């Protein structure tokens, strides 16, 4: 079978390798769609300390069970495989932070992911139920995006939404477009405002339910309107200091700030202790997702509460994974996927 092996920074090779053997309790997935994630882009162009190469990248995976050696999965079953399997035994997991488990087994990190014609579904994933059915109405491309929905939902579930009237989403990338839809359709936030830099992406944000969009390149006066009363929740979907500086301009009494996007270059927060104290600000980061939020995300995707179809703007074959990573890095469209069965 064809498989794209990652050896490290700028080093990824399409190879012919044997289809993985299936041991007791495991299954083999015929991969149909893999969402291209910024972490894949980062691993290829900048390297990654967490990825244990050589490994196959790709952790947003859907496909069909090709061969099963477990009663839990059947040949021909259409599924999404979760990206991560937390150990559930360590003190971090037991404290309720499965998403931060230091002993995580993760596709494309320490076991092979989806940029491959076939992928082994690890016994641990089978036993923990980390394989989710896709209904017949959902395409494999949509089904692959359960993972980004799950991590987005995890972030939004970290704060209470009771009485929340307005939220500002900073960023207009694919994840932001998922956040916007979850805020409108799942959290029922009355007023969702999006700050971004791309007219095209902001247009899509409006089409997907945003009540107002502000292009920070030309909309400073619009931004000024948000000052004063302050915004209830500020959801930062991009990892850069400028986003946090924008957030600082619009926080008010009791605002909650969510930091969803990881920064390539780390930086100090632009808030003072007293600003935090006197405005009673709540800030939380969010990384990964829990099994519970993954199950909720699978339900949301299967029921088509949110529109993922319009987020997928390009498809690539397995031999074009490099092009897919470039497409994603250059932010040409929105989300792209790799379809390994197309050659
Ligand atoms: Zn991802
Ligand atoms: Zn753990």
Q: Which ligand is nearest to the CA of 124?
A: 2
- Phi and psi at residue 108, in whole multiples of 5°? 75, 5
Q: How far apart are the first and last CA of the chain?
A: 10
pTM: 0.96
Residues of the chain with pLDDT under 50: none
SS3 call for 125? helix
- Contact (Cβ atoms closer than 8 angstroms) between residue 145 and residue 37: no
What tokens appear for 96 in the block?
């309720």
CATH code, 2-149+289-342:
3.90.180.10
For residue 27, the SS3 value is strand
What per-residue confidence (pLDDT) applies to 220?
64
CA of 82 to the centre of ligand 2 (A): 16
pLDDT of res. 293: 97
Q: Determine the CATH number of domain 159-285.
A: 3.40.50.720
Whether the Cβ atoms of residue 243 and residue 170 lie closer than 8 Å to each other? yes
Q: What CA–CA distances, in Å, run from 121 to 112, 199, 341?
A: 9, 41, 17
Would you say the C-alpha torsion 200, 204, 190, 166 has a positive or negative sign?
Answer: negative
Cβ neighbours of 88 (radius 10 Å): 13
Residue 262 confidence (pLDDT): 84
Rounded Cα distance between 329 and 308, Å, is 20
Please give the distance, rounded to the nearest whole angstrom, from the Cα atom of residue 83 to the centre of ligand 2.
15
Q: Which ligand is nearest to the CA of 97?
A: 2
Ligand that comes closest to the CA of residue 86: 2
Domain ranges (residues) in the chain: 2-149+289-342, 159-285
């Amino acid at each position: 079978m064809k498989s794209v092996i990652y050896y490290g920074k700028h080093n990824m090779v399409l190879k012919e390798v044997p289809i993985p053997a299936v041991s007791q309790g495991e299954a083999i997935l015929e991969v149909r769609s893999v969402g291209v994630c910024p972490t894949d882009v980062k691993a290829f162009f900048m390297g990654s300390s967490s990825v244990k190469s050589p490994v196959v990248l790709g952790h947003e995976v859907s496909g069909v069970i090709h061969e099963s050696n477990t009663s839990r999965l059947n040949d021909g079953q259409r599924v999404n495989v979760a990206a991560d399997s937390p150990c559930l035994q360590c003190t971090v997991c037991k404290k309720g932070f499965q998403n931060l488990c230091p002993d995580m087994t993760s596709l494309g990190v320490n076991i092979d992911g989806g940029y491959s014609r076939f992928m082994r579904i690890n016994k641990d994933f089978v036993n923990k139920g980390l394989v989710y059915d896709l209904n017949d109405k959902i395409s494999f491309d949509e089904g692959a995006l359960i993972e980004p929905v799950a991590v987005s939902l995890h972030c939004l579930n970290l704060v209470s939404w009771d009485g929340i009237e307005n939220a500002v989403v900073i960023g207009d990338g694919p994840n932001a477009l998922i956040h916007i839809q979850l805020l409108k359709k799942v959290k029922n936030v009355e007023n969702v405002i999006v700050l971004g830099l791309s007219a095209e992406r902001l247009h899509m944000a409006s089409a997907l339910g945003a009540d107002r969009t502000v292009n920070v390149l030309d909309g400073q006066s619009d931004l000024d309107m948000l000052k004063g009363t302050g915004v209830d929740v500020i959801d930062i979907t991009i990892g850069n200091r400028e986003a946090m500086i924008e957030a600082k301009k619009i926080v008010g009494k009791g605002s909650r700030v969510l930091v969803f996007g990881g920064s390539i270059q780390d930086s100090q927060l632009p808030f003072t202790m007293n600003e935090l104290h006197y405005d009673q600000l709540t800030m939380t980061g969010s990384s990964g997702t829990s099994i519970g939020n993954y199950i909720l995300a699978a339900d949301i995707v299967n029921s088509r509460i949110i529109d993922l179809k319009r987020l997928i703007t390009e498809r690539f074959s397995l031999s074009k994974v490099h092009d897919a990573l470039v497409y994603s890095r250059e932010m040409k469209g929105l989300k792209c996927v790799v379809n390994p069965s197309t050659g």
